[in-house]
């Protein structure tokens, strides 16, 4: 399993948002995104997919959790996506990464509890200003479920003696 601290850089994403418990909204959002891709003739692999779990279910309630199924967009694709989908910039910053292999279904069930069960490394804490980002490395339309991989990236910030300290990133 690949794990550790990573820095995600900002870039533009087109998204479909579904509100509700993560165990149902994740699949619903991706179903809508794949339908849009098929409708617009994007049947070849689109590269990585990005899932943004925006809310802590314990704070907003499961029914109010927002999940965005996202794909990266380039300048030529952005105009078409902007007319029918939402556009957002991936929230940059440090994240802890955990590689999940063997299918995407376990991610749906673990996402709801991740905010309350996440235990960061010493000197780090959960940064609830940014969403939990799942980077889907494989296209589920092209591979068997047992071959699918995803990186679950939990946003963190450095803390020292209980005070937030900015994370220094080398250029």
Mean pLDDT, the chain, integer: 84
DSSP, collapsed to helix, strand or coil, labels residue 21 as coil
**Greater model confidence, 77 or 9:** 9
CB 47 within 8 A of CB 72: yes
**Cα gap 122→38, rounded to integer Å:** 45
- How confident is the model at residue 171, as a pLDDT? 37
Sequence-separated contacts (24+) of 161-167 with Cβ below 8 Å: 164/125, 167/93, 167/94
Q: What is the b/e burial string over 78-105, where b = at least 16 CB atoms within 10 angstroms of the residue's CB?
A: eeebeeebeebebbebbbbbbebeebbe
- How confident is the model at residue 46, as a pLDDT? 57
Considering the entire predicted model, what is its pTM? 0.85
- Per residue in 53-71, pLDDT (tens digit) is 999 999 999 999 999 999 9
Give residue 145's pLDDT band: very low, low, confident or very high (50, 70, 90).
Answer: confident
Give residue 38's pLDDT band: very low, low, confident or very high (50, 70, 90).
Answer: confident
């Amino acid at each position: 399993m690949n794990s550790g601290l990573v820095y995600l850089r900002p870039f533009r994403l087109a998204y479909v948002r579904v509100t509700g418990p993560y165990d149902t909204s994740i699949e619903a959002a991706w179903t809508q995104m794949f339908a849009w891709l098929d409708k617009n003739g994007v049947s070849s692999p689109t590269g990585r997919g990005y899932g943004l779990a925006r809310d802590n279910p314990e704070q907003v309630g499961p029914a109010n959790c927002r999940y965005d199924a996202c794909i990266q967009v380039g300048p030529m694709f952005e105009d078409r996506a902007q007319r029918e989908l939402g556009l957002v910039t991936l929230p940059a910053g440090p994240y802890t990464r955990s590689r999940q292999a063997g299918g995407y279904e376990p991610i749906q069930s673990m996402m709801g509890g991740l905010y309350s069960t996440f235990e960061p490394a010493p000197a780090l804490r959960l940064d609830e200003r940014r969403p939990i980002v799942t980077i889907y490395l494989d296209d589920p339309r092209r591979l068997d479920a047992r071959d699918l991989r995803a990186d679950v990236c939990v946003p963190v910030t450095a803390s020292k003696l209980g005070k937030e300290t900015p994370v220094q990133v080398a250029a």
